[in-house]
Each structure stands twice: as C-alpha cells, then as structure tokens.
Structure 1
Amino acid sequence: MKRKKHGLPPYVERRYQTFYAALDVPKGVRGIVGKKRFVQSLKTSDIRAAERIAMQVVGRWKEIIERAKGNTDLIESAVLLRQLKEINPEIDADQLAYQAYTHQVQKNPGEWPVTDVISPQHGQALSVAMGDSFPLAVHISDYEKSLTHVQEQHKERQVSDVRRFVKKFPTAQSATNRAIRDWVEIHLITEKELAIRTCNRIITACRGYWKFLQDRKSLDLPPPFDRVVPAQNRVLTQKQIASDQRRSFTPDDYKKLLKAAQDAGDKNLVNLIKIGAYTGCRREELCSLKVDNVKKDRIQIEDAKTQAGWRDVPLHDAILDLVATMKEESKDGYLFSGLANGNKHKKRGDAIGKRFTRLKTSLGYSKNHVFHSFRKGFVTLFESIGPEAEVVLARTIGHKITTMSYGLYSSGGVTFEAKKEYINKISWE
C-alpha cells in the first residue's frame, strides 16, 4: 500500500498519541453530507491496527459519498440520511428528505406528482430517515451473499422474487398482511396471470428474506405472510391433470427421434438419446459424467439430487460398445466430450438439451414431451417385466423406496448382477 511522505497510511492522521481516520468530502455533496471532512478517532496508538480500522471506517464514508452523488431513490436516500444523522446530529433530515423528493420530480417529471402536500413516497422516505420504518431493499445484496447453500439458478430466482416484493413494499411497515394479500390477488394473479404455485414460490422466497432480516438485520416485526396466497379454488379434471404431466416416450418415439438426430448429423445428440433411453439417467447426470466414472460394464452416478441417486447403473448390452468407444475418444475427461463448459448455472447439458427441444418440436411433440420422457419410458418398459422388478428398478434409476421393509430397513441389497439381468430385458428396438 502506498504511504504518505511522513510515513502514515492513507486517510490516517496522528493527534498526540492517538490515530484518527480522515477523509475530505467532495465539494459537490458537502451540502447533502453536511460537512467538509469526515474525522473519527480510531482509539489506538498502534499504527497497524489504525491502518486496518481506518480502511473499514473510510469504506463506509465512501459508500455514503457515493450514495449522496447518486441520490436516485427515495428509500436509498432515506437510508443515507439515517447514516448522515448518526455522523452529524445537526442535519435537518426532514429538509433533506424533501430535497431528495424534489430531485426525483426534476429527474422524472412524468412519474412523480408535483403537489403542495407530502406524497406517500416522501412520507415513507422521511419515516425511514427518522428511524421509524425499516427499509427492505437495502439488504438484498447481503441476503444474496448469505445463500451459499443454494444452487446458483435457484438463488437467482429467489433474489428476483424478493426484488419483485420490495419494489412494491419498500418498508417492512408497508408490508401488512392485507396489503400483501391484495398484491397477490390483484397484481400477481389477476394482472400478471401467475399460477397459484408460482405465487406460493414468491411468498416462500419473501419469507426467507424476512427471516434473514430478523436474524441478521434487527427487523423486529413478525412475518406478515400468513394465508396471503388463496387456496386453489378449482378442482382439476383428470384430463387437465394429464395435460399438465410429462409424458413418456415409446419405442416408436425413440426410433423416430433417433433417426431425426442421425439425419441432422448431431452425433452427441444421437448418443445422448441412446444412452438416456437404455440407462434411465437424467440428461445432466449423463452430460456431467466423467470417464473416470465409466467402467467396462457400468456407469457410476455420484452427483445426483438425493442420496438414493448415488448408484451404479449397468450398461445395457445394446450400448456397451458405444460407451466404450466414447470413453476412448474423449478429449476432455467427460463421456460426452466437446460439450460447452456449461451455462451460467454450470450445466454442461444446457446447449444439447436445447437442440433436443428444437428437434422434438420439429417432429410435432408438445411441451409435455421432454428428454426426461426417456426416463419415464425406461420405467414403463421395466414395469412390463413384472411387479417383482419394482425394487430393482428403484435401485437402478435412483428412486427412494418408501416401503417399511425395503425403504426403511434395507441398505440397498439388490446386487449389480440382478440389475444387469433386468436391464437387459428391456428393449427400445
């Protein structure tokens, strides 16, 4: 770190035997900040400790200055005012909040009513500035960082749901149970035509954010989400239920899709269809499969969604040679060599999955037929062997067994030889 000529770190001053942090306020925001210079005792005479503490203190000051420069949102401005009032109790928060409001009027004249009375937006901002209301939006960044246990794609969706919520409810006090219920019923369901399950997902994300604010940010209001999403008010017919479900592929579908992929010259997609059909594996399980987990007579799935999903899958005789060739020709350590390194969610099968979607759509298949339909078809073919194949099937495709005898007490005693025998009984040809 660059040091000043007199040997002190940047932003650090010595006064007698104590070090202070100091930062000049840019002229353009001195009127908002209320002072020309920030100064704070670091309460230490140790130069290294002073340097470390000063960087934290100055970092907060710089954030305040940047917010003062932008001044683009009333609630953000109000949070800034609270911080400024802590630094300078003489600040007239009411006047500055009104200045923030008039700044918005000048910037977006069509969006803000110019009246002689205080607007609801200004009232909320003033309430936040005076410490009477809790701002919701300012902690989303910290919340996102806390979601270390959540997959990236689910994290993005959760944060997006929370942003939708706080856009409507800028303060915790404005998010009453009745107001949220109206928002769900009028805006989300009626205007946006969102499904009940989607609304439940959004509210679940909001519950998680609210709990985070209670645990980490001193929010002391109870969650206002009780019964804000209406119950499903219609009974689905069997036809409607069937239309919403994924459907399985038949052997005729398999041959039709395989030929189309071959005609298109898409070698990886041809191989994916064959191996998916004869193993019952999910698309991403196959696309992320490394050659180290491919043996002479089996593949080892070790990154599945559940504990039951960690399994050895026998290779059907129909694909033994194909898999051996793919393993030998791999140039990047994956069985399906040459796929992109993954989309933003680290899924290697994303691009080839889209190619499959275009292929099946061109053949007239609906949204109910997806690559997962091969897995459903695999199950259907297994069922045709007989009821005794059920446990073998579950151990093969990685489904949890819920029965008392086989689910609770069994440790997975189906032998590999038994799975190999049964898997060779199915045929897509």
Structure 2
Amino acid sequence: MASDNIILRGGNWYVRLSVPADVRPILNRREYTASLKTGSKQEAQRLKLPFLQTWRDEIAEARGLTQDLGEKQRETAYTASQAIQGYLNDSVRLSALGKTKEANEASFELLKELDSFGLDYEAVLPLVQKYRGGDIADRVGFQKELTELLQRQVVTAINPVNQKEVGQILKDPSHYRAKSPITVTRLDAFEDYQRRRGIVAKTVDTQLSRLKKLKAWLEENQRELNHEGVETYLDTLDCANKTKKQHLFAGNSFWKWAIKKDKTFKRQHQEQANPFENQHIEEVRGVRKKERKAFTVTDIQKLHESVKGKTLADLIMLGAYTGARIEELCQLKVSDVVKEDGVDCLYIRDGKTSNAERIVPVHKDLKPLIKRLAKEADGDFLLPASSKNKYGTRSDSLSKQFGRLKKDLGYGEEHVFHSLRKSFITFLQNNDISGLTIASIVGHETGTITFDVYSAGPNAKQKLKAISTLKIL
C-alpha cells in the first residue's frame, strides 16, 4: 500500500486503509477502500481525509469492543465444547451397550444443538452416512471425525480474536475460565429479557451500566460475586446512599433473572444466598436529605419575567397552571388540546405512573398561550424543543435552561422545575380544594380503593372550578 494511503487505478485515485488484525473479526474486513473519483493526485490528497477519519474512528470503536467480543467467543466455544463433550459421553455409552440406533439419534440431536453456531449440515451428513449402521470400532472413528469437523466449523463460525485460546476450549471445556459470573453473554440476555418485559429503555441502560461497573471491579480486584464482595464494592462508590441502593436493585434484578433463566448460573449458584440482598447501607448521621421546595407566587413571576418571550417562559406558565411534570408538558401535541364536557382541556396521555393519563382543564390565563402555541406549532408538538435524546425525551434542553435560570436568580438545589408542581398542589390546598380533586388533576393515587378503583374521579367542570381559584401570572 502506498504510504500516503492513495493508489492509482485505471486513471482514478483510490483511498485505502489496512484494518489491524485485532479488529478484523469485528469489522469483518481486512481493508477499507473507496474511489475518490478524480485523476488529480493533489485533489485526491484532499478528498481522502474524510474517508480516513471515518475509518479510523470505526477502528477505534471496534478496539473498544474487542475485549467483550473475545469474552463472548470464549463463552460460545465453551457452550459448543460442552455440547460436543456431552454427545461423546452419551454416544460412547450407547455404543458400548450396542444401541447403534440411539447413538445415531444422539448425533443428530447434537447437530441440532450446534445449529446456532453456523453448522454446515451438508458437510456433516456425508460423515453420518459413512458410518451409519457400523460396529463399535466404526463408531469410535465416527466420534473422532465428527468432533474434529465440528470443532473446525465452530472456529470458522466464531472467527475468534484469539484462535489458539478458543481452539483449546473447544478441545477441552476445562480450559475455559470465566472471570466473573456477570459475563457479556449474560448481560446481553438480561438486556433482551428486560426490554421484552417492557422496562423503560433508560432504566435498562442504567442497570446495564451499573452491572458492567460491578463486573469490571470484580475482575480487576479478583473478587467473588458474594455478599462480602458486593459490600466492599459499595464502599468504593462515591455516591449518595440512594444511588447505592439503585446499584443493589440492578444487581438483584440480574441475580433473580439468572437464577431463573440461566441453567448454568443456577447450577453454580442455586445454593448461594443472593449477594445483593440484606446489604446494610449506613446512613450518615446529621446529614438530611434536601427536599424540593415549592416556589412562591412571587418566585414564579420572577422566573417567568426573566425569560419573557422565550419558550422557557411558556413552559413555566404551563407548569404553574397545570402542575404537570416537565416531560409531560414537552410531550403535549396540538391534538392534545381537547374539549371535555364543554371545557377546554389538555389531554396528558403518558407519564411517570399509571395514573399519569388524565385531563387537565385549561385555566383562563392559559388560553391565549395555548392558542398561540397551537398556531405557531411546526409539527405535532405544542412546545418546540431543540432536540430529543435517544430515549425520546424532549425536555432535556429546556430542563437545562431552567436549571441555569434558577441558579442565576439565586435559587439552590432544593428548587427545580418540579417545584412548580409542588407549588401548584400547595396553592390548591391553601384554597381549600379537596385532596381527591388535586390528586385527579396532577395524576396521583389517593391511596384508597374507593377512589382509585371504583371512582372515575371529578369531572372536567369540577377540576376547572378548582384550577380557576389560582392567580399566579
């Protein structure tokens, strides 16, 4: 290859980049190449740069995956090796008993089990035919040839980063040593299980992140996944006790899944106590949790006035007069402005809890704002948002803007956008509105079967009467 990564072919210059051997199994290529569609070498030198940058980024990303890939390949080889070893044991036993038919059936069962590894039936069937109906001596030859053929096929299918190590495991599964019971393959299976259960994507990603950190710590410090190991790990975490409990929750979820769904894990750990349970997290005396504080009417007016004419001002006004969560407001669509019993309402379709779906009447001071937002809307949503994250959350940017605003105005950590929700509830309570009506407006449970299960709750006119007692902006 030319030292400057370009080569002339048929009058056109091409850019080329060799893929390092360690990442070829991940990228599934030995070289990158692309036509620069020019016969000018000077122009080719300029045009090659974006290609090289993109390819080098891909190589760097692949290198980050190599460690996980190597672990997956070792696990795959171990699983295949166990299947082959189990087959050999059964086949030898059946052959010794003269049960040739059963031994042949065991061969086909093995082929089915290894099918997920990319087994080539056409390469195996002639071997089965060759020895079909043979005596015990032939059976021994068949076992040897079949084992060697399967091992070669599995190696080809895996395309291992470390071929020697995988080859050793295939020949003898005892060569496999898992550094931690929290393996990459198990994490993948756990992730798939959680997503199929409908667990929120962000929650799943957070659980996986915490499990991977625990896995790395266990391996780095050569610790067992037991009660003492988890306890020591928690002591290394520089975070609030609430976050430590969330680490325990992630681990507990993984453990219960693995005991129930992973046969190997269950066999190895069924007699062991769940290491994530009965962990004592010491509370630091004298340290009180900072509770969110409600804004006063004056506070809300100050916040609103500071960003008047901006989307953030519209968001603050909506929050002040609806008590809705920030993401609930950012998810409102133009089509969610509805009429219920002749009352203009906002239909909040989805939110944090099962009670979040609700109808919130529009306060008279909100009507001009709602009308303007609906008219100016560029798309489905009522409020414009500059971006949304990978979880579909639209409030990120506005939430950060609000955080900077309240900090600039001298408000501390105890004041957040959610404080508007607390203010809304407090104002209604101070206006002698019943708790049942307030809970219905903000989407809270009442804690009683009578109202949570059997009652449809206050109607739109009753809720509007309650909200109309507010005078904020």
Structure 2 counterpart of 1:401, from 446, 452, 456: 446
The answer for the alignment partner of 1:4 in structure 2 is none
Q: Normalising by structure 1, what TM-score?
A: 0.68
Sort the Cα spacing of 1:230 and 1:422 in 2 relative to 1 into closer, same or farther, 3 A: closer
1:303, CA displacement in angstroms?
Answer: 0.7
Alpha-carbon RMSD across the aligned residues, in angstroms, is 3.3
Letter in 2 for 1:340: S
Distance, in Å, in 1 between the alignment partners of 2:252 and 2:316 is 41
Distance, in Å, in 2 between the alignment partners of 1:92 and 1:280 is 61
1:167 equivalenced with 2:216 (yes/no): yes
Q: Specify the SS of the correspondent of 1:67.
A: coil
Structure 2 counterpart of 1:154, from 184, 187, 203: 203
1:156-198 C-alpha deviation (Å, 9 max, x unpaired): 210111111111224998222223223323x23xxx3x22222
The answer for the alignment partner of 1:99 in structure 2 is none
Structure 1 counterpart of 2:187, from 129, 133, 140: 140
The answer for the alignment partner of 1:333 in structure 2 is 380
- 1:197-346 aligned at under 5 Å gives the runs 197-218=242-263, 219-220=265-266, 221=269, 222=272, 223-232=274-283, 234=285, 240-241=288-289, 244-262=290-308, 265-266=309-310, 268-295=311-338, 297-337=344-384, 339-346=385-392
Sort the Cα spacing of 1:336 and 1:62 in 2 relative to 1 into closer, same or farther, 3 A: farther
Tell me if the contact between 2:358 and 2:440 (Cα under 8 Å) persists in the aligned partners.
yes
Letter in 1 for 2:258: L
- 1:50-199 aligned at under 5 Å gives the runs 61-62=155-156, 64-68=158-162, 80=166, 84-85=168-169, 87-89=170-172, 93=175, 127-128=177-178, 134=181, 136-148=183-195, 149-170=198-219, 174-185=224-235, 187-188=236-237, 192=238, 194-199=239-244
Distance, in Å, in 2 between the alignment partners of 1:280 and 1:328 is 23
The answer for the alignment partner of 1:424 in structure 2 is 468
Tell me if the contact between 2:321 and 2:424 (Cα under 8 Å) persists in the aligned partners.
yes
Sort the Cα spacing of 1:67 and 1:359 in 2 relative to 1 into closer, same or farther, 3 A: same
Tell me if the contact between 2:214 and 2:233 (Cα under 8 Å) persists in the aligned partners.
no
The answer for the alignment partner of 2:37 in structure 1 is none
**Identity of paired residues, percent?**
25
Distance, in Å, in 2 between the alignment partners of 1:198 and 1:409 is 37
Q: Normalising by structure 2, what TM-score?
A: 0.62
1:318-363 C-alpha deviation (Å, 9 max, x unpaired): 01121012112212111113x2351122101111111111111111
Unpaired runs of 5+ residues, structure 1, are 1-8, 21-34, 42-56, 72-76, 94-125
1:428, CA displacement in angstroms?
Answer: 0.7
Distance, in Å, in 2 between the alignment partners of 1:276 and 1:135 is 43
1:290, CA displacement in angstroms?
Answer: 1.1
Letter in 2 for 1:225: F
Letter in 2 for 1:210: W
Tell me if the contact between 2:210 and 2:247 (Cα under 8 Å) persists in the aligned partners.
yes
1:39 equivalenced with 2:85 (yes/no): no
Tell me if the contact between 2:187 and 2:208 (Cα under 8 Å) persists in the aligned partners.
yes
Q: Specify the SS of the correspondent of 2:412.
A: coil
Moved more, 144-153 or 366-375: 144-153
Sort the Cα spacing of 1:274 and 1:203 in 2 relative to 1 into closer, same or farther, 3 A: same
Letter in 2 for 1:39: L
Tell me if the contact between 2:387 and 2:397 (Cα under 8 Å) persists in the aligned partners.
no
1:154, CA displacement in angstroms?
Answer: 1.3
Residues paired across the two proteins, number: 327
Q: Specify the SS of the correspondent of 2:419.
A: helix
Distance, in Å, in 1 between the alignment partners of 2:128 and 2:403 is 65
Distance, in Å, in 2 between the alignment partners of 1:62 and 1:289 is 52
Distance, in Å, in 2 between the alignment partners of 1:322 and 1:283 is 17
Letter in 1 for 2:207: Q
Higher normalized helix content (fraction of residues):
2
Letter in 2 for 1:68: N
1:408, CA displacement in angstroms?
Answer: 4.8
Sort the Cα spacing of 1:39 and 1:420 in 2 relative to 1 into closer, same or farther, 3 A: same
Tell me if the contact between 1:282 and 1:372 (Cα under 8 Å) persists in the aligned partners.
yes
